Amino acid sequence: VESLRLYYGAADKVVALATADLNEILSFLKRDSK
């Protein structure tokens, strides 16, 4: 599975992880870039 993991934080107190399917993101970008 090709997945993108994005770690992000807020106010140096909270760390969270967001995951997304890389193929889905690329398809979305290609579709909406026209």
Span 1-34, pLDDT tens digits: 689 999 999 888 899 999 999 999 899 999 977 6
pLDDT of residue 1: 63
pLDDT number for residue 2: 87
Q: What is the C-alpha separation between 17 and 15, in angstroms, rounded?
A: 7
Q: Work out the angle at residue 25's Cα, subtended by the Cα atoms of residues 18 and 23, and round it to the nearest 5 degrees.
A: 105
4 Rama class: left (phi>0) / alpha (psi -120 to 50) / beta: beta
- Report the Cα–Cα distance between both ends of the chain, in Å, rounded: 27
